[in-house]
Structure formats: C-alpha cells, structure tokens
Amino acid sequence: MTTNMRNVLAIPGYTNQSIWGYDEPMQTYFATIWADTTSGDDDPDIWISGITPIETEEDLAANIGQKLGLLTEDVLRYMHLWDTAQEDDTTARLSWWQRLLGRNQGSRGPTEV
C-alpha cells in the first residue's frame, strides 16, 4: 500500500519547484510541474492531478513524458534523482565524519535531533 508522499521532480528546466507524489485519500499519483522561468506565484505549467486515478509511478512518468516530449524511462530517472542525491549526500557526510574521527580520536560524530 502506498502512503502520502511528495518528492522533487528533477527534470532539467523544471527543477525549481516541480514535485510529484501520491495522494492516499484519492489513491492516485500526481505531479505539479513549473518551468524554471515560471514564477512560484503562478499556477503550474502542467498539473497532473489524477482525476482519473494514476495507479503506478510508471503511468505517471508516461503521462509526464507525453506532456514534455520525454521518454518514460528518462522521466522515471528524473523522479528518483533526488533519492540518489540524498543517498550520495548521506554517504559524503558519513565519509567526512569518518575522516574527521580518524584525525580526532576523542571526537564524536553528529547526533540526530
């Protein structure tokens, strides 16, 4: 079962504000897409609301791809670039702390707040 979520949609030229996600009460995926040149005060350039339920990420990616002239596979990759970036960022931070701890044996790493 998919739960409510929102993620960054990292399509080049549309990265500043665009998101995609899942609306659990409506049981559909959705996307709101703004061109990087569009003001945040304006409505999205493309709004895929799932009025007709979009049941899978692949279906959403195909819908976005059709509207932007992109391949579904490329859109899926853009949908998950943020996940990869966060994993890379976590790895980079852990590596930094490991190097720091190697130099300062008495130091402790970051704590979750």
Please report, for the chain, the start and end positions of each structural domain, with discontinuous segments joined by +: 5-79
28 and 47 in contact (C-beta within 8 Å)? no
Annotate 91-104 with DSSP letters as a single string.
Answer: HHHHHHHHHHHHH-
pLDDT of residue 113: 31
pTM: predicted TM-score of the whole model, two decimal places: 0.71
Q: Which residue has the higher pLDDT, 65 or 104?
A: 65
pLDDT digits (tens, 9 = 90+) for 22-72: 999 999 999 999 999 988 788 999 999 878 899 999 999 999 999 999 999
Rg of the chain's alpha carbons, rounded to an integer?
A: 18
Measured over the CA atoms of residue 16, residue 81, residue 3 and residue 27, the dihedral's sign is positive
Q: How sure is the predictor about 93, in pLDDT bands with cuts at 50, 70 and 90?
A: very low
> What local confidence, expressed as pLDDT, does residue 97 receive?
42
Q: How confident is the model at residue 89 (pLDDT cuts 50, 70, 90)?
A: low
CA atoms within 13 A on the CB side of 67: 17
d(CA 54, CA 67): 15
Q: Is the pLDDT of residue 94 over 90?
A: no
Cα distances (angstroms) measured from residue 92 to each of 12, 53, 87, 97: 24, 38, 9, 9
